Amino acid sequence: MAKCLLCDAAIEPFISFGKMPIANGFLHPKQFASEYFFELKVGVCEACGMVQLTERVDPEQLFHDNYAYFSSISTRMAAHFEQFAADVKSRYLVDEDPLVVEIGSNDGILLRHFAHAGVRHLGVEPSANVGEVARADGINTLCEFFDASVADNVVAEHGQADVVLATNVMCHIPDLHGVLEAVRILLKPGGVMIFEDPYLGDIVERTSYDQIYDEHFFYFSLSSVQQLLGRHGFELVDAEPQPVHGGSMRYTFAAQAERTVDDRVPRRLGEEQERGLARVETFEAFRAQVEQSRDALHALLAGVVEEGARVVGYGATSKSTTVTNYCGITPEMVEFVSDTTPAKQGMFTPGVHLPVRPYEEFVADYPDYALLFAWNHGDEILAKETAFREQGGKWIVYVPEVKVL
Ligand code: SAH
Ligand code: TYD
């Protein structure tokens, strides 16, 4: 039986999506035969309530010099991070000449607001290609996986950090104990770490099962995060929901008893308990919803294709790897996936091998239906795609429920 990576207790598995390829592993036909697969299965720890994958993929297979996700591709996320940087500056950069360190800084979408304002900063980003984009923009970036030895080196060279930031990366790292030990080395007395990740409560409530894929090793709740932090002498001092990525939570923590705990923390912990966010029955009900969603999407697509309609995917997201493989969405159903990321264009999606084509091909010959894989950017996308609708195009969505818009 699988054991919890954080507390070693037994994990109760509640859903398996079957064999899955690497979610961001876009590939060329000559690589099809050697494609890597693993079992994508999720369980909940009976002791600490941490929801997690039961099998881990080697991080070097996921994050490398050809990483496909460039954060700055979304203007909505860029605006979100600009606001976040402004908040951090006003609330936490109060000492003279502060240092901000970011884990998983990608192309600099967040750190640029500190770099361009002359704030001392450092990004730790193992995927060389995205880190290079940040460096070219004047953002100090180390090409490393964040751990205690990196923290030691940073402190020796720059001193301790006032603030450590990490967005959409903590849930990627199986060795969270190692990360928190490194944060203990790195953080100044009185300093805070703030991290943001998709929130388990939203995943369950919206049946957004496509948040489940290899890179997302953990699915956090306040309760599981609080228990983890407690083991390292830290304390959750705030938790603020965020509308991005289909529902995220921004967690702020500090050394125990150093800061006042916001009222939101106990209130939300109580809400989680009422909702049963650590109970196996909650996740069994979630599994039933996921299976229903899968069957409804497959039936809808098969129906419109049977009628001779053309369907194109919109956004070659990592999330869509789970959806397409789990629901059996093949090239016979979806002609291609439109995506604005140059590194993905001309490649094929993992597992089911849908071709990824430039966005211009979507506009040049609108399909009858666009399957909205990038639903988390739905507001931004629907607002700019009015011409598609005006010409009779329809959207197929599946979160929170399968329907045609
Ligand atoms: N922070 C950005 C990027 C999220 S994608 C955003 O919110 O949009 C996750 C990023 O974390 C990737 O760029 C990946 O290369 C990086 N990453 C993965 N494991 C890491 C680790 N152990 N230490 C530091 N960065 C890591
Ligand atoms: P995203 O949903 O942010 O991430 P993930 O890979 O974590 O699931 O990815 C959005 C993808 O959609 C990205 O490849 C860029 C693409 N995209 C478009 O093609 N057009 C758009 O207007 C937007 C917002 C994204």
If one counts the domains in the chain, the total is: 3
Residue position matching structure tokens 């930031």: 165
* Residues 83 and 50 placed together within one structural domain of the fold: no
Distance (Å) from CA 320 to ligand 2 centroid: 10
Ligand 1 atom closest to the Cα of residue 67 is 15
SS3 359: helix
- Report the pLDDT value the prediction gives residue 405, as an integer from 0 to 100: 94
Q: What is the pLDDT of residue 60?
A: 82
Ligand (nearest to CA of 347): 2
Residue 264 has pLDDT above 90, yes or no: yes
Using 50, 70 and 90 to split pLDDT, how confident is the model at 66?
Answer: confident
Q: Does pLDDT of 402 surpass 80?
A: yes
Instruction: List, for residues 319-340, the tens digit of each pLDDT value.
Output: 999 999 999 999 999 999 999 9
Query: What's the pLDDT tens digit per position in 338-384?
Result: 999 998 999 999 999 999 999 999 999 999 999 999 999 998 899 99
Final residue belonging to a domain, choices 257, 272, 305:
257
Q: What pLDDT is attached to residue 9?
A: 97
Mean pLDDT of 108-135: 97
Task: For residues 97 and 32, state if they share a domain.
Answer: no
From the CB of 376, is ligand 1 less than 6 Å away?
A: no
pLDDT above 90 (res 67): no
Residue 381 belongs to a domain: yes
Q: Are residues 116 and 221 in the same domain?
A: yes
Examine the pLDDT at 229 and tell me if it is beyond 80: yes
Determine the Cα angle at 290 with ends 348 and 394, to 5°: 60
Over residues 275-287, mean pLDDT: 95
Three-state SS at 170: helix
Same domain, 217 and 347: no
Q: Which of 24, 63, 69 to mutate to test the pocket of ligand 2 (most atoms within 8 A of CB)?
A: 69
Going from the C-alpha of 379 to that of each of 74, 103, 219, 375, 392, the distances in angstroms are 12, 28, 24, 8, 19
C-beta of residue 370 within 8 angstroms of C-beta of residue 395: yes
121 and 245 part of one domain: yes
Ligand 1 probe mutation, 62, 63, 195, most atoms within 8 A of CB: 63
- Interstrand relation of 218-219 and 141-142 (parallel, antiparallel or unpaired): unpaired
Tell whether 43 and 142 lie within a shared domain.
no
Query: Which atom belonging to ligand 2 lies closest to the Cα atom of 74?
Result: 24
| Each residue's pLDDT tens digit, 134-174 | 999 999 999 999 999 999 999 999 999 999 999 999 999 99
Q: Which of 74, 75, 168, 213 has most ligand 2 atoms within 8 Å of CB, for mutation? A: 74
Q: Which residues contact 235 (CB under 8 A, 6 or more apart)?
A: 226, 229, 253, 254, 255, 256, 257, 258, 259, 261
> Does residue 286 share a domain with residue 358?
yes
Residue 64 lies in a domain: no
* Residue 107 alpha carbon to ligand 1 centre in Å: 10
Q: Specify whether 77 is located in the same domain as 23.
A: no
User: Residue 150: CB partners within 8 Å, gap ≥ 6?
Assistant: 124, 142, 144, 182
89 and 119 in a common domain = yes
Establish if 274 belongs to a structural domain: no
Domain that holds residue 78: 71-257
Strands across the sheet containing 141-142: 141-142, 120-124, 99-103, 161-167, 187-198, 248-255, 234-242
Q: What is the structure's pLDDT at 1?
A: 77
Read off the pLDDT of each residue in 187-201 and give the average, rounded to a whole number: 97
* Shared-domain flag, residues 120 and 32: no
286 and 378, same structural domain?
yes
Please give the pLDDT value at position 62: 80
Q: Whose CA is nearest to atom 4 of ligand 1?
A: 168
Ligand 2 centroid–CA 315 distance in Å is: 5
CA-angle at 153, arms to 149 and 157, nearest 5°: 170
- What number of other Cβ atoms are within 10 A of residue 38's Cβ? 16
Task: Measure 103 CA to ligand 1 centroid, in angstroms.
Answer: 7
- Is 49 in the same domain as 126? no
| pLDDT at site 22 | 95
